[in-house]
Each structure stands twice: as C-alpha cells, then as structure tokens.
Amino acid sequence: MGTRYWYKAFAVAAISGLVLAACAQGGPAATTAPTAAATATAAPTVASARGTGGDLKILYWQAPTILNPHQATGTKDNDASRLMIEPIAAWGPDGKPFPVLAAEVPTVENGGVTKDLKTVTWKLKSGVKWSDGSAFSADDAAFTYTYQCDPKSATSTDGGCADVASVTAPNATTLVVTYKNPQPFFWLWGVGTSYGVLQKTQFSGCVGEKAKDCPANLKPIGTGPYKLREFKPGDVVLYDLNENYRDPNKPFFKSVTFKGGGDAPSAARAVCQTGDIDFGWNLQVEAAVLRPMVEAADSKCAVSPQFGVLERIHINFADPSASLGAKRSEPDTKHPFFSDINVRKAVAMAANRTAVAEQLYGKYGGVPVCNVVVIPESFVSKNTASLDTCKYDLVAAEKLLQDNGWVKGADGVRAKGGVRLEITYQTSTNAVRQKTQDIIKADLEKIGFKVTLKNAPASTFFTNTSPDGANKFFADLEEFASGQEPDPYGTLLGYTCDERAGSANNWNKGNYSRYCNPEYDKQFQIVRTETDPAKRQAAAVAANDILIKDAVVIPLVNRVAPTADGASKLLKGHQTSAFDSSLWDIANWSK
C-alpha cells in the first residue's frame, strides 16, 4: 500500500538499474541512480491499430479476489482492477507523476499548486467516457474521495484521508484537492493505484457500511483500456477491449486473459521457456532456478530490474492467542512476550539477511537491507548498519535473552514467568518464502524459540477476511513484501498509532503490527507537514531508525520491483515502474 510523492524541492533520484554495491552483513545497500533531471518517463508507444493484437495472456500466481482497489489488500487485486479503474495520474519509471485522467500534472511552476502548498488543482481530460458509454467527470473523482475517506467504508486506501480537507469539482474537468495544512507531499491524493476513480453512478449506494459487500466490487465499470467480461474470484479475469476508451489507437489487444493461481516457478517457465504467456508477474523464484531461464540463449523473456520492494518480517505487538476470541490481535491487547523489547531484538539479531538474499534471491532478486525505507536514496538511513538489531549474531542474541531472564528449559525452549517463547511464523505460499522461513526458524530455535511455520495461498493470505490473512495477523511473526513510492510518506504511515488494523476498521488499516509509539508519531508528523526539505528528510530518517531500534519490523531484502516481472521479448511498449502497478501502462502494450 502506501502513498505517493514527488516535488522539485525534494527532487531525489528514483532507483533504476541494479544495486551496485552490496551491503555489509545485515546493513543497508549502497545504490547508484541517475539524477531527476537526467531521467523522464518516456512517451507512450502508440499501437499500430486498436484491437488487432488478439488475446494478451497475463499470469499472476497470486489470484485476484476483488476488483475494487479501495477494498483490495493485495497487489494481485490492485493490478487486476487497474485494467479498468484508473487514477488521476500514475507514477512513471522515473518516480514522476504521469497524466492518466489528468490533462497535465499540477506543479507550483504551472500554477496548479498554490505557493502555500495547500491547494492542488487538477485539470482533467475532456471527452473521457466510462466503459458503459456515460460521461466521466470530475464529480466522479470527488465522489471517490467521499467513498474512500468515509470511516465506515473502512477502505484499504484511506491512508491520505486525514490530511485532506476536501476534494471538490467546480466543473466537469476541474478537480480541486485542498489540504488541511501546507502539504509538502502535495500529490498525496490522486496519484497511483490506491487512488483509482470509481464511477459515482455505480458506487453511490456503496458508501459506508455497504462498501465491503458492494456487488460492484466484483464487476466495476471503468475508464481504462479494458472492460470486464467475466470474473471468477480466485481464478481468472477475462477482459474485452473498451470501445469507449479515449485513445482511438489503443489498446492494441482485443482481449486480455488474466489468469491467477499456480506458483512462481510455473509462471517463470510459461513466460521464459514455453512462451505460452505474454507477461508473468512477480517471478519470486529461487535464483538458481530463475537465472538459467532468463539467461538461456533461447529465453523468450526479458526482465527489467528496479529495486524498491521490501521483503520483511513484522512482529505482532498485539496478542494473537485464540483464547481471546473476538479480542484476538486487537490493537488494545498486549503480546505476551513481544512486549519485551529484548525478545524482539533477539529475533532481529537472529535474522540472517545475507543468507536469505544470496541463497534465495541473487541477481534477479535483491540485496540484504536493514531499513524500512529503501528508496529513494536520499531518504535511506545511513545510521542503522551499526545497530545490534541489524547484525546477525546468534551468540549476542542468546546472551540478551539469558541476561533478561529468559531461561532455557529441558526442551531447549526459553521461558520467563511461565511464558514460553513459542512462535507461529506465517507467510504466503511461495517456495522462496518457505525457504526463508526455514532459514529464520533454524536460527531462532538455536537461541531458544520454538517455531511453528505456517503458510496460506496468496488469495487467502492477502485478504482482510481470513483468519490466515496478513491483515488479521493471528500469528506472532509474518512475512510479506510491498512496493515503495517516490516519497516515504506512505511507507512510514503504516506504523503510526492511528493506522493500527483491527475489527473497527474491517482490518483494512496498514499497521498490521499494531505498533504504537508517540515519539515515532511525532517524527511522522514532521514528515507529514514540514515544508523544509532538509528537516523533512531528517524526520523520515529518524522515524525509520526508531522502527529498527525498537525491532518493530525486520527488513530482509530490497527486492527487484517486482522480483522480477517477466515479459515476452515480443511484447512492446511495456515499461517497468518501481513505484506503481506492473500494469500501469498496459494501454501502450503491443506485439
């Protein structure tokens, strides 16, 4: 999840290309990137003729279960919706906004952003239609804000709502976003998949408590290049060309088959070896398996590495005990042993990031890191490499536990005051993640933990409904990854007190750990409001460092974004953006 930002005063380089210098054991990676001035989102490739390309075959080994981005909790769902539901602007490969429904991107220079950074005026494209033939207008975007930011809607995309005073539509092609305070991240609302615009006519009866069960969540009308033909949740989405799409030359493909399920190695084989698939998402495959497929002389795929997806382990600050019933993992409960910072630190010190990165990810996978914010480079902390929580040291971890009263029993499991260090560690079903679990488990058991491993299919894990899901977090540790955008706002927002997930918000808030620290929130408030670039950057680094020192989250690998998408060598017009959906530019694809 997360929110989005780019502003000239904070012009920082997007990470494009490979990391050139690997980190020391557990420390952050050094990176090299072009300056903002040296990079720009390329002009879209124009397809030769609309609808002449046959069927575009896309394979996601995580199957989508919903098509409304504001109720989605997984990338699979956001991406499946993106063929139909569009934002005002997208994040291009260079980390700059790219107009989608907007006619241009507002800046201070062009008068679209007021000098006090409180009001942003978006000029929208005229003549845009929904796929049902009705006219799109700014009123749809203003309605989307109302839907998204109604607390009772319990959306997964409400992260930026607290800072927005209003979103209004003075006329059909003008949208005005007004912030409560000067907003250094003035593209907070409207850019990227999280801000997909819903049709007011279709969703007007779905605001508030009706939002989560709205039938339109499974069959939305959109402005994108494709429209829905059929959706089988957990299996496949079939799309047809949207004949009302605004560009007469696009899309090139007449239809799209978006198949979900299977596993990452099968997806890699389908796009790189057999060529049965045009685009295979997130080839999170062991380096020893993926690299030969990509580098073979007859390989049918190409990958475009861009770092910016953080694979990490979250520690649960709430109590996940089943005995609590309805109170299980609620934010107002307290974990029986992770409330002790020494136990959390010991877990962090037992995480062998280097082994995970080198053995499982490799060239097309990622590098070990010990920061929560991994891009852009100007916001990446240089302070964490020296911290104990960033150093793999089993001897020191075991001593920390022993010195703080956690004593090994006859079975090798440590306990204190009758509380045993017994952990359930969950993640989604994926061979690389299961092998990561194995590495982490082996070391945790060496220092006195008992670890039970658990995994669930992505269609179950990345939902807010299943007891096996990441949102509810009915476990002690959980591992997953998500992308980061050109500003740290959204990444850091997910650890604030107000963002703690629970039943009151339909488990849709982004703080799955239920962590709450007033000092952290103080630093984030500076990130949220400070207009001085240096002060804002310092606050972002300080917030990151609190999370690492407090052992809230255990960063493992800065992954290729994603790790990595595989596209057929025959596919043209595709550009990888580390900051947006893998399908952000699908209207431009051709063969």
Instruction: Indicate the DSSP class of residue 17.
Output: B
**CB within 8 A of 358, min separation 6: which ones?**
368
Tokens of 353: 């990031």
- Shared domain check, 572 and 523: no
Q: Could you give the 3-state DSSP secondary structure of residue 61?
A: coil
The answer to whether residue 58 sits within a structural domain is yes
- Shared domain check, 157 and 73: yes
The answer to whether residue 584 sits within a structural domain is yes
- Shared domain check, 504 and 469: yes
How far apart CA 573 and CA 577 sit, in angstroms, is 13
- H helices of 330-488, where? 341-349, 353-356, 394-403, 431-446, 458-461
- Shared domain check, 176 and 320: no
Name which of 51, 100, 93 is nearest 224 in CA terms: 100
The answer to whether residue 3 sits within a structural domain is no
Name which of 114, 188, 108, 98 is nearest 148 in CA terms: 188
Q: Which residues partner with 511 through β-bridges?
A: 500
CATH of the domain at 407: 3.10.105.10
Q: Are 49 and 249 in contact (CB under 8 A)?
A: yes
The answer to whether residue 291 sits within a structural domain is no
What sign does the CA torsion over 496, 500, 504, 508 have?
positive
What is the domain count for the chain?
2
E strand residue ranges, 372-421? 407-408, 414-416, 419-420
E strand residue ranges, 233-368? 236-241, 255-260, 279-280, 301-302, 307-315, 366-368
- Shared domain check, 146 and 48: yes
pLDDT (average), residues 103-115: 96
The answer to whether residue 265 sits within a structural domain is no
- Shared domain check, 495 and 384: yes
The answer to whether residue 298 sits within a structural domain is no
- Shared domain check, 235 and 380: no
Give the Cα-Cα-Cα angle 463, 327, 1 (nearest 5 degrees): 30
Burial letters 99-131, b for 16+ CB under 10 A, else e: bbbbeebbbbeeebbbeebbbbbbbbeeebebb
- Shared domain check, 217 and 99: yes
pLDDT (average), residues 571-589: 90
pLDDT at 455: 96
Tokens of 506: 């339909």
pLDDT digit string, tens, across residues 137-146:
999 999 999 9
- Shared domain check, 534 and 493: yes
Q: What are the Cα distances from residue 455, in Å, to 31, 215, 421, 429, 491?
A: 33, 30, 20, 5, 25
pLDDT digit string, tens, across residues 355-384:
999 999 887 678 999 999 998 889 999 999
The answer to whether residue 380 sits within a structural domain is yes
pLDDT at 94: 86
Percentage of the chain modeled with pLDDT above 70: 91
- Shared domain check, 204 and 155: yes
Name which of 300, 252, 274 is nearest 54 in CA terms: 252
Q: Is the pLDDT of residue 536 over 90?
A: yes
| pLDDT tier for residue 287 given thresholds of 50, 70 and 90 | confident
pLDDT digit string, tens, across residues 73-108:
888 999 999 999 999 999 988 889 999 999 999 999
The answer to whether residue 27 sits within a structural domain is no
CATH of the domain at 170: 3.40.190.10
How far apart CA 223 and CA 242 sit, in angstroms, is 8
pLDDT at 375: 87
- Shared domain check, 526 and 418: yes
Tokens of 263: 């596993």
pLDDT at 45: 55
Of the CA atoms within 13 Å of residue 79, those in its CB half-sphere come to 30
- Shared domain check, 397 and 365: yes
What integer best gives the mean pLDDT of the chain? 89
Domain containing 447 equals: 307-560
Of the CA atoms within 13 Å of residue 351, those in its CB half-sphere come to 32
Name which of 156, 171, 166 is nearest 464 in CA terms: 156
Q: What are the Cα distances from residue 121, in Å, to 86, 235, 246?
A: 18, 40, 22
